[in-house]
Each structure stands twice: as structure tokens, then as C-alpha cells.
Structure 1
Amino acid sequence: MMMIDIMNNKLQLLLNVVLFIVTTIVIKWALKILFRGSKRLPPLVKGRRPLIGGVVRFLSNPIEMLNEEYQTLGSVFTMNAVYKNITFLLEPDVSAHFFKAGESELSQREVYRFTVPIFGPGVFYDTEYSVRQEQFHFFEDALRIDNLRGYADAMFEEVQDYFSKWEEKGEVDLKQEMENIIILMASRCFLGKDIRDSLSKDIITLIKEINVAMVPLTTLFPYLPIPPHNRRDKARKKLDEVFSNIIASRKSSKKIKDDMLQCLIDSKYKDGRATSVGEVTGLLVTALYGGQHTGAATSIWTGVSLLHYKQHCLTILFNRLPYIYKRPNDYDPERFNPERNEDRLAGPFSFLSFGGGKHSCLGQPFAYLMVTAVWSYLLRNFELELISPFPETEQNDVVWSVKGKVTVHYERRKLSMD
């Protein structure tokens, strides 16, 4: 009899658990229906495959997919990406909500969490909002105008030294050359001349391994065990070792340097706590990654466009809405002339090369300085000719760069000494 009672109790418990689960599912489903009915949600991108919607199209050709859905669904729509929804805001009046939203409305940490494997633990999007804001201020201090003046001299020295090794004439892969010089300039400004001289090759190799791992798929699945991510993780671990030694050496030497490394070592939080070795390492990797990845891409496109459209000075095109930009897919720098002002036509978020609002790029002045240093020197000292066809865009990259090699013929100018 006792055995029967025990079995009945277990059966009753099991039934209660099942009933609880079913009730929870029903309530969740009902709330979802109610929520959808009470809120006007953006239309969903439709796809042939359930769960992933248009994500396959997005990963293969983002611009084409966004243009097609913009024509069909309008300026706001949502794409189902397996385990999350991604909502696109494609016009200045709606994108303003993204750029102006506070942390309580739109968490930057949730949006940019995919950067944690690169930047590392304990920095930026792996921290609470208050800590993140203080770390942003550390960067702002390191990139102040008075520091930029010193960086300009260092950049010019790097550019002069690098291109002095070119022959009187010859051919080069412009893409490779830009990637090399940009990381050398960034290393010099961020780490100092002594470290740049002794470790430049190692750092260049490791940063490149991290760069190639940042593909569109990474934004959705940053920890997916694919070869680029495996190489990224190995490179990041090696950078930890390299920078830990650099930081320890700098601290023990007690020498004060005028580079970003020194600024980050000397930085303190509001509670008086000094930055840790891990935090300084993460902040340096962030600076080098951001400075090299976007800086190299911008420098390459600058050169390619200047050499292909020699009648123009370049302002790179990143915005494609036809009702704002008359020929959004054409190279047309005159759109920025005062007579047209297309970059301001729809307000402050018409032109987003360096983000905007709460998502503005802190390194914008530094980026302009790097590109100017490289191309002012090259155009003054060399005759340049684009040999290869105008390149296609490498779409399997978060920062769109040039696809393949870019062959350029160069010949040194005979500069007058007058």
C-alpha cells in the first residue's frame, strides 16, 4: 500500500511539473500575441528557410540584401538571425533613434558584444556602463589635440622611412603597402618608437590574424569554432603575452613617454584605482585593431579612387539612399560642394562615415591624420599609375576593403630644391 502511495505521489508530481511547463508555454505564447497586438513592430524579412530568414543573403551580400528589403519593406525592418532579431534603420530620421538612445533604451554592450574575443575581458563591451564610459575617457585623453601634434611628427617619420625603401621605379601591391604602413604608424604612436622597432613584425602579424577573423558571421556567432576564429584566439593570446611584457618593462623603467601606452598606464578610475595590465592590454589591442583595420581600408580606397579619378579629390562614399544622394553608387565627390551639401540634406545623420551621436568614432582626427600623412607624401614624391582594374569590394569583411591585389606603378619625382 505504501509503495502504491509513493508511486501516486511521484505521478502527481510529474503531472504537476508537466502542467507547469505547458502553462508557462501557453502564457508566454499568449503574452507574445498580446505584445505583438499592442505594439506596432517592424515588418520581418522573409526567407525561404525558416529561422534564418534573410541572414544568408545578408552574409553573402549585405548591401544588395538591404537595398532589396528597403524597396519592399521601407526604412525599418527586422531580420531573424537564428537566436536573435536584428532591426535595420536605414534613413536619417529613423537612424537618429539609434544614435541618440541612452544605455537604458539601447545597450551598446548588447550590440557590440561580438567584439569581446578581440578586445578581451574587462574592457569596453565586457564591462558595466560606468566603467566603459571611464575607459572611453582614457582614449579621449590619449587622443587630445596636443597629443595629436606629437603623433603627426611620428607619423611623418614612419612614412618617410617606409617609402624611402622603394626603388626609383617599380610596381607594388598598394593594398599590402597600405596595410603595412598604417600598422607601423599606429604602433609607433600607440606603443612608442623603441617597442615599434623591436616588435613591429610580431605585432603586424598578430593584428592581421585578428583582422581577417572579423567577418560578417562573427557579428552573429563570435565564438563559432571556425579556422579564422581559432587563429584570432591564438593571436589574441600571444598579444596578451607580448603586451604584458611591454607594460611590465615600461612600468619598471619609470621612464615617461609621450605615447598612448603611457597615457593608459597612467590613467586612473574615479575611485582611484589604476588600470590593470589586462585592461591596458585590451585597450591597446582595441586601439591597434581600430587604427589598422579601418585606417588601412580607408587609405587603400583613397589611393585607388584618387588614381582612377584623377580629376577629383576624394571623399569616400558610404551612404546610398537615392532620395538624399542623387547618384549614391557613383564616385561623385562634388556631392559635398556647398551648392549641393548632400551630406547634410537630411540632417546630422545623413553622412555616417565615422558614426554619430553616442556611437561616434573617437579616433576620427587620428584617422584623418594617418591618411593625410600617407597620401600627401606619396603624391608629392611619386608619379603613380593604377595598373590593375578598379577593384571590387571585399564583402566578407565587417570593414569593407578592396578585394584582391591592387597593382600600382610608381616612379620617383625629381623634386626641385628651390
Structure 2
Amino acid sequence: MHTGVLVIVAAIFTIVVAILGRLIQNSLLVGKKPPIFEDVPFIGGLLKFLKGPWGLISEGYSRYGEVFTVPVATQRITFLIGPDVAPHFFKASDDEMSQTEVYKFNVPTFGPGVVYDVEQKIRTEQFRFFTEALKKDRLKKYVPQFVMEAEAYFSKWEETGVVDFAEEFSKLVTLTAARTLLGREVREQMFEKVSSLLHDLDEGMIPISTIAPYLPIPAHRKRDRARKELRDIFAKVVRERRASGAKEEDVLQQFIDAKYQNVYGGRHTTDEEICGLLIASLFAGQHTSSITTAWTGLYMTENKAISWDKAVKEQQDMIKAHGSEISYDVLQELDVLHRCVTEALRMHPPLIMVLRYAKTPFSVTTRSGKEYHIPQGDVVAASPNFAHTLPYVFADPLKYDPDRFAPPREEDKKTPFGFVGFGGGRHGCIGSNFAYLQIKTIWSVLMRNFEFELLDPVPEPEYNAMVIGPKPCRVRYTRRKLQVA
């Protein structure tokens, strides 16, 4: 037999043996490790993943239930779907379930020395800076800035017109973020420049970035130039504030004043760290807040009787009791609007997957009592979007029903980790209160000044995006002044 033929036969034999071995391995893992969702050995998982996570999760859950593993290239991704298998994911320490390995692709965007580019004890202190910047006394001072930006933005609308909520709120939330996070100087003197650079930074976060964040492609080169320019701009603002002794009511000021306690000898934050922390806080909240603001309005407008009318009545009651002021305390009393925001977030969390890296093995038990062992080294994924559609967690989960969060139902409290729109456990969203206040401010201003009508059906989610928002939808607005009965 010719050498070439022997090589071909050997190659075919090797491939067949490998495929048979993979199939046998997958079947033997059932009952020990999670079932393998792959179909075509070696490449099936990657092909499914490239088609989009929503279809993958839906098919995997329908076949295998709450726990299954998808091999993607050289990595195993194990999905834990639903509250019964989620506790370890949300409660485990960083020594057990780490964020660093799965989110390190953010380092070129956020910059060196912050968040996922530092060891855990340093990151813990940096998260403390975020927490202190978003305490109640700070939030109270941000609300007037939310109101000012919202009123100024909507004052430019005509008497009637057609808008797309997602597009409008993306612009407005960028303005409020510039004012409350990045600083007055940025908002008033260099907003267009900074906004353009942030756009370039955002455009540099594409699907390939999660796998190869340093790949020398145009989007990444543009991202890196934008990051450098932003660092220089923020450093200049910080220097001028420090030189003048001026203090502002914004998150930037909190980062300038921040000091480490247990690392770096208790020093202040550096200019490079301040820039990175600002970008990280912006990326953590800007898209998610604008998207949830849009979904809130779309569903309230479509469901006048069960949400819009009640929320408008609530605004009338607030005006009667407190006058026209929209303050922190007024926003805290808006329970109807709060439930509308929460229901929009339940139906459409902006992040389809949240990830951890299993640094130690652990076990989970499904709702039916089946136990699976998750090995060290797996990437572990939870899906708030899919978990919120489980009928044993939320009644009639595909139905828009804000009152599911009202007493005595309170469906979000009946099952631990049933509602994970803002994550949960050790890594629950630090900015959730900030986000609620921002969204409720925007809708308070709108409900007091406009009526809305959907010209298209409530749109489908854009599952192909990195952060999942609504597809375009036309909404007609008509200006009016809310009257108190």
C-alpha cells in the first residue's frame, strides 16, 4: 500500500477513534458530570454557540434540564439554569468562583490596574470606592442632576412627534452619566469630544474581543487610541480639581478622594486608576439603564390599564402631596413605577449570560433531586433571561404583570435567586439603587409632560447584541401637562 494511502487511512482511523471516544466519554459522564450538549463531537458546541446563546440555552434546557455542559473549542461552559442550581454560583467566594478569568477581556477597555487587572484584595477595595460613591447621602445629591438633564432633554421635543425609545434613552443616559459620573467639566465643556471617544471605546467591544481582546484589528486599535485620549482628559480634570481645591457632587470626586485601606500603603487613587474606574462604572450602567428605561416605557405604553394609568395616578398623588419637586424621597415612594421597572427588567435583563470560572469543584442538585458534579476549570454560566421564564419561579412568566411584585404575591421573594435582574449574592449589582433612581426620574418627568402611543408592536429583543435591548419601535408622543384631580 502506498505511503500516501496509509497516511489517509491512519488519519481517518484516528478521527473515528477520537469521535467514538468522545461519544463514549460523553455518555459515561451522565450522572457524574453534567450531560454534554454537543451533537457533533469536537465542533458541535462551538457551532451552537456561534449561532447565539439564546437558542443554545433554550435547546439545552429542553433536552437536559437545569444543568448541561457545552464544549466550546478548548473550554467547557456549564450552564446552571434556575434558582435550585444557582446558589453556589451567586454565593461562592472569589477563591471558589472567580470573575477574573472570564472577564479579563475588559482590561484593554477599562485600562491597567483596575477591576479585572488586579488581584482580588485590590479589586475588593476598588469596589468599596464604588459602594461609597453610591451611598444614600450621595444618591440624594445625584437626583437633582438626573432631573435637570431629563427636563432639558425633553424640553427640545416638539408638541408631537415620533421617536424610538431605545435611541432616545441611550442619548439621555449618556448625558446623565456624564453629569453624575464623569463630572461637570466633562458635561459642560467637553461632552461631544468625550462622548465620541466613549463611542469608539464601546465599538471596540465586539464578540471577537471576548476571545482575543488584543487582536490587532481596526476596532481594537481605535479602542486603544480612545482609551489613551480619555485617560489624558480625565487626568487633566483631576489635576485642575486638586490644584483648585474644588469639590463637586459626582462620582469622579469620590474617586479622587478615595484612599486604599489595606493595600498600596493606604495611598490615594492614581490618575490612571481614576480613569479606569470611571470607564468601568460607565460601562456597567450606561447600556443597562438605557435599555431598561426603554423596555419600561414600551410595556407601560402598551398596557395602559394595568400599568400606565396606575403610574400616572401615582404621579398625581405625589404632586398633590409634595408639589412639583422630583426628589429622592418622592422617587422612593413611587411603588407602582418601581414595579413597572422591575417587571421590565424581569422580562428582559440586558445581560443574557453572567459568567464565573470554577476554581474549585462543586456539586449542584436540580429541582428533581438529580446531583451533578462540576469540575474545576469549567466556565460556569447563569442566564437571568432564561431563568426568569421558568413557570415554577414566576406565574405565567411570559405575561407582563408588574403586580406580581406587589404584596401579598411578591413572587421575587418566594424563591432565593428567583429574580436575578441585578445579579445576586456576593456580586449583586452595586449600582442597582442608582439605576432605579435614574429610570424613575426619567419616567416621572415624562409622565408629567407627555402621553405616548405605540405605532408598532412591542419589539423583539436584539439577541445578537452584546447587551440585549429592544429592536427599533416607533412611539408617538404628545405634549401635555399632567393635571391633579
Alignment partner of 1:276 is 2:270: yes
- In the aligned structure 2, how far is the partner of 1:306 from the partner of 1:417? 20
Question: Which residue in 1 is equivalent to 2:228?
Answer: 237
Alignment partner of 1:262 is 2:253: yes
Closer, same or farther: CA 227–175 of 1 in aligned 2, 3 Å: farther
SS of aligned partner of 1:320 = coil
5 Å-filtered alignment, 1:30-179, equals 40-48=32-40, 50-179=41-170
- In the aligned structure 1, how far is the partner of 2:479 from the partner of 2:172? 18
Equivalent AA in structure 2 for residue 380 of structure 1: R
- In the aligned structure 1, how far is the partner of 2:395 from the partner of 2:68? 24
- In the aligned structure 2, how far is the partner of 1:408 from the partner of 1:236? 35
- In the aligned structure 1, how far is the partner of 2:142 from the partner of 2:148? 10
How big is each residue's C-alpha offset from its partner over 1:124-178, in whole Å with a ceiling of 9 and x where there is no partner? 1110010000000011111110000000011101111111111122222322210
Question: Which residue in 2 is equivalent to 1:365?
Answer: 433
The alpha-carbon deviation at position 230 of structure 1 amounts to: 4.3
TM-score by length of 1: 0.84
Alignment partner of 1:196 is 2:187: yes
The one of 407, 412, 419 equivalent to 1:338 is: 407
SS of aligned partner of 1:351 = coil
* Equivalent residues of 1:214, 1:397 under 8 A apart: no
Alignment partner of 1:304 is 2:371: no
Question: Which residue in 1 is equivalent to 2:289?
Answer: 295
How big is each residue's C-alpha offset from its partner over 1:175-198, in whole Å with a ceiling of 9 and x where there is no partner? 221001101111101133232111
The alpha-carbon deviation at position 363 of structure 1 amounts to: 0.3
- In the aligned structure 2, how far is the partner of 1:301 from the partner of 1:260? 27
Closer, same or farther: CA 227–75 of 1 in aligned 2, 3 Å: farther
- In the aligned structure 2, how far is the partner of 1:214 from the partner of 1:250? 31
SS of aligned partner of 1:54 = helix
Question: Which residue in 2 is equivalent to 1:374?
Answer: 442
Alignment partner of 1:285 is 2:354: no
SS of aligned partner of 1:112 = helix
* Equivalent residues of 2:291, 2:470 under 8 A apart: yes
Question: Which residue in 1 is equivalent to 2:478?
Answer: 411
Question: Which residue in 2 is equivalent to 1:18?
Answer: none
The alpha-carbon deviation at position 213 of structure 1 amounts to: 4.3
* Equivalent residues of 1:170, 1:409 under 8 A apart: yes
Residues matched between the structures, number:
382
SS of aligned partner of 1:311 = helix
- In the aligned structure 2, how far is the partner of 1:178 from the partner of 1:123? 29
SS of aligned partner of 1:172 = strand
Q: Which has the higher contact order (CA 8 A, sep 6+)?
A: 2
- In the aligned structure 2, how far is the partner of 1:166 from the partner of 1:227? 37
Runs of 5+ unmatched residues, structure 1: 1-28
Equivalent AA in structure 2 for residue 372 of structure 1: K
- In the aligned structure 2, how far is the partner of 1:57 from the partner of 1:339? 42
Runs of 5+ unmatched residues, structure 2: 1-20, 308-339, 348-384
The alpha-carbon deviation at position 217 of structure 1 amounts to: 4.7
The alpha-carbon deviation at position 106 of structure 1 amounts to: 1.4
Question: Which residue in 2 is equivalent to 1:326?
Answer: 395
* Equivalent residues of 1:344, 1:350 under 8 A apart: yes
SS of aligned partner of 1:94 = coil
How big is each residue's C-alpha offset from its partner over 1:242-283, in whole Å with a ceiling of 9 and x where there is no partner? 222222222222212221111101111112211111100000
How big is each residue's C-alpha offset from its partner over 1:280-309, in whole Å with a ceiling of 9 and x where there is no partner? 000000111222111111111111111122
The alpha-carbon deviation at position 368 of structure 1 amounts to: 0.2
Question: Which residue in 2 is equivalent to 1:396?
Answer: 464
* Equivalent residues of 2:162, 2:474 under 8 A apart: yes
Closer, same or farther: CA 402–417 of 1 in aligned 2, 3 Å: closer
Closer, same or farther: CA 326–392 of 1 in aligned 2, 3 Å: same
- In the aligned structure 1, how far is the partner of 2:78 from the partner of 2:193? 39
* Equivalent residues of 1:115, 1:125 under 8 A apart: yes
Equivalent AA in structure 2 for residue 43 of structure 1: P
Alignment RMSD: 2.5
Closer, same or farther: CA 278–385 of 1 in aligned 2, 3 Å: same
Closer, same or farther: CA 298–372 of 1 in aligned 2, 3 Å: same
TM-score by length of 2: 0.73
Closer, same or farther: CA 173–108 of 1 in aligned 2, 3 Å: same
* Equivalent residues of 1:304, 1:390 under 8 A apart: yes
- In the aligned structure 2, how far is the partner of 1:98 from the partner of 1:112? 15
- In the aligned structure 2, how far is the partner of 1:47 from the partner of 1:252? 63
